[in-house]
Structure 1
């Protein structure tokens, strides 16, 4: 570029910088005054007849949770009050840490028209709907989620606007688009006629080779994601013919995981087939998602490597039952795969638990309706897990997987005031997890007595 010339992009950047500088100078004093004038929030004390200690895996008796702002300051045995505190009585309830779903898709939801909707809807349509789905998820008691796959980083924007107080929703850790191979589960051109198949590459999260792997992860870093998702095998709901074939080489898998870890990301790996699972575990992946055809070797390796299993068990049953009930529920290629996964996944999850594999809770919500994320709990118990362990999966285990256990996953001093309550003891009746009637996230009550509370935007 010649001296004294500037590209259009360069001029735009300079203009944006100048505007930001001027705006900051003009508004900073006003913002500072407003902040100084804001009164301190009153402390809140929750009276919980029972409180889940997710770390110890036991139920505590009457407890008081003292909250200041968005954090817990004390957890006290028995009922106490504090000067000027608002006391919230949760009679008949069991209090739990805010639930964590480590596998959702907040900007999509499968309906009978979803495949045609993908051709007709603009990205803005999905984004608007995602605000509704995010709120339903929060009201279901899930105060934190890991979003493992979107289309164009739209859940990065959703995360940011929730954090800024524009819309109500859970705390989001997003992976942006999932990373896969040409023709693989992440390739949106699968099953389309040739003139509709885009020419995609690492910029679009489709890789072929190790150099592409590093480029794709770096692109995700550029777009400010929180985590990385990769696809080592086929999947159920794409229009290709295989659910379990391997779709990334060992070298590609290792490169993706190495690049992600280099940038400080945890890696969730979509993998149904045994070989794809093995490659991901050996590469150092942090979690295996689905794991339908996991074999004994995979389970042994996962124990050795400390890999978490996020089973999405209800999704498997949901797609199988839907396919059984309606021969036209899905396109033919999807229908055939959907019939396979449910029974096999139930067996695999039971076997993996007996083998001592570590579990974290994740649902794949979006394949089934958002807000129904609790429906994995009964199936986990059905395959042999104690209800207490299922609850730990959705609290401290998921927090530890996401490396957020200093802030979430248990009710303790210093952690976010993310607390939910159900009417009764879920360790005796796990279906109570579908009856969450109190939801607090970061000290703000979004649901009380089963009624949604009016959300007032705190954004400025």
Structure 2
């Protein structure tokens, strides 16, 4: 009898540890936008452990489930920002990069990422960051171990730049032995080594500055910086290691070079033209236009000396082939537009203004929501787990008070956040 009881206890412990007897929970709400394009009224979502097991009407709720009533709230998938820089939070970031240690950036970056999670951003793709080390991946690993609560983190440790490019520091005298905020490489061999260094230290994306940048001193965003040989070396090495490449590309020719080379996403695309749009369609390249950062410059840093170049360049969006006109054309033609904000120290609610900017360019509110959920998950290659509210996916979801399909700014006022089935924010109605 004792032996029999022992084995029953052993089986029970095994079932609990594997989640076989995990408690089912359910949320009910006025409206549910599942990310696939469907909208459910008087909806329910049922979860077990960290996964969704059913979505639909309230009749799907099992009797044994613990139910949380979200009243008139609208539930959506957790938001994904595909272009963030958690360690950049000042206008003179290339100098600030030299002021703070990697450890300090890790502590401050963790707080910034947790604030973003509370604002509804359950996943982030880091587009390289201003750190000599790889502190963002120390944060990622600590979150994955359960030491801290935070968003899912993907991305690149550094942006790979040529000498004198947007990732180099171009305003100090040549006698100063400084380490640039980017990873500086020249020629195919150094590019290959840079990719290997990034992968070695935890990058699951490779970020390259194919062209000049807006925010840095001493370079021109309309110039192409990578040679075709350097670009090929990056792509060959990244492809061998099955790592996708994101390309910072403002210049028209730089965009086309990067698309033809096979990058997965183009970031910014300030001087995009119709030929570049057609190439993106042909190659299936994602476009991450990063619109909110321009608003941030105009509202926060209008008189900044450090960002005078970026602010001035941002004013020239009035000509016949402006960025906004080309982005609208890209949307109409069906380019896969993914949401990324270029977050450089935004207040937590600010990144969600990107949704409204996409709507201004011609997206429907549903398309804009999908750009920051379903499309981003597909670009990340994480659509099995993220991006939509469907059975089998991670229970990452948010809720807002109103209907973002009629007022997209509701996404700036997230009231409820769940990640992996755990509620981390719940503002009562």
When normalised by structure 1's length, the TM-score is 0.83
User: Residue 295 of structure 1 aligns with which residue?
Assistant: 273
Residues in 2 aligned to 1:303 and 1:367: alpha-carbon distance in whole angstroms: 32
User: Residue 147 of structure 1 aligns with which residue?
Assistant: 126
Deviation at 1:238, TM superposition (A): 1.3
Residues in 2 aligned to 1:67 and 1:93: alpha-carbon distance in whole angstroms: 18
Alignment of 1:126 with 2:126, yes or no, is: no
> Are the structure 2 counterparts of residues 367 and 129 from structure 1 closer, same or farther at C-alpha, using a change threshold of 3 Å?
closer
Is 2:349–2:412's contact at 8 Å kept on the other side of the alignment?
no
User: Residue 181 of structure 1 aligns with which residue?
Assistant: 162
Match of 1:157 among 138, 163, 182: 138
What are the equivalent positions in structure 2 for 1:306-385 lying under 5 Å apart? 306-322=284-300, 325-326=302-303, 328-340=304-316, 344-366=322-344, 368-385=346-363
User: Residue 398 of structure 2 aligns with which residue?
Assistant: 420
> Are the structure 2 counterparts of residues 167 and 329 from structure 1 closer, same or farther at C-alpha, using a change threshold of 3 Å?
farther
Is 2:385–2:393's contact at 8 Å kept on the other side of the alignment?
yes
Is 2:82–2:124's contact at 8 Å kept on the other side of the alignment?
yes
Is 1:387–1:427's contact at 8 Å kept on the other side of the alignment?
yes
Is 1:131–1:168's contact at 8 Å kept on the other side of the alignment?
no
Q: What is the Cα-based RMSD across aligned positions, in Å? A: 2.5
Deviation at 1:355, TM superposition (A): 2.8
Residues in 1 aligned to 2:247 and 2:274: alpha-carbon distance in whole angstroms: 18
What are the equivalent positions in structure 2 for 1:15-30 lying under 5 Å apart? none
Residues in 2 aligned to 1:307 and 1:109: alpha-carbon distance in whole angstroms: 29
Count of residues in correspondence between the two structures: 412
Deviation at 1:196, TM superposition (A): 2.4
When normalised by structure 2's length, the TM-score is 0.89
> Are the structure 2 counterparts of residues 313 and 348 from structure 1 closer, same or farther at C-alpha, using a change threshold of 3 Å?
farther
User: Residue 192 of structure 1 aligns with which residue?
Assistant: 172
Match of 2:417 among 396, 420, 439: 439
SS at match of 1:54: coil
Match of 1:285 among 250, 256, 263: 263
User: Residue 97 of structure 1 aligns with which residue?
Assistant: 77
User: Residue 117 of structure 2 aligns with which residue?
Assistant: 138
SS at match of 1:155: helix
> Are the structure 2 counterparts of residues 391 and 160 from structure 1 closer, same or farther at C-alpha, using a change threshold of 3 Å?
same
User: Residue 233 of structure 1 aligns with which residue?
Assistant: 211
Deviation at 1:382, TM superposition (A): 1.2
Point out where structure 2 has 5 or more consecutive residues left out of the alignment. 1-12
Is 1:288–1:309's contact at 8 Å kept on the other side of the alignment?
yes
Is 1:99–1:395's contact at 8 Å kept on the other side of the alignment?
yes
Deviation at 1:378, TM superposition (A): 0.9
The 10-residue stretch of structure 1 (348-357 or 293-302) with the greater mean CA deviation from structure 2:
348-357
Deviation at 1:363, TM superposition (A): 0.7
Point out where structure 1 has 5 or more consecutive residues left out of the alignment. 1-33, 452-460
Residues in 1 aligned to 2:421 and 2:318: alpha-carbon distance in whole angstroms: 38
Residues in 1 aligned to 2:71 and 2:16: alpha-carbon distance in whole angstroms: 36
Residues in 1 aligned to 2:371 and 2:428: alpha-carbon distance in whole angstroms: 24
> Are the structure 2 counterparts of residues 170 and 341 from structure 1 closer, same or farther at C-alpha, using a change threshold of 3 Å?
farther
SS at match of 1:147: strand
Is 2:349–2:413's contact at 8 Å kept on the other side of the alignment?
no
Deviations 1:84-106 (A, max 9, x none): 42211111111111111111112
Deviation at 1:74, TM superposition (A): 1.6
Deviations 1:62-89 (A, max 9, x none): 2221111111112232354324422111
User: Residue 55 of structure 2 aligns with which residue?
Assistant: 75
Deviations 1:211-264 (A, max 9, x none): 222211111121122111111011111112412211101221122122112111
> Are the structure 2 counterparts of residues 258 and 342 from structure 1 closer, same or farther at C-alpha, using a change threshold of 3 Å?
farther
Deviation at 1:199, TM superposition (A): 7.4
> Are the structure 2 counterparts of residues 413 and 335 from structure 1 closer, same or farther at C-alpha, using a change threshold of 3 Å?
closer
> Are the structure 2 counterparts of residues 100 and 336 from structure 1 closer, same or farther at C-alpha, using a change threshold of 3 Å?
same
Alignment of 1:108 with 2:108, yes or no, is: no
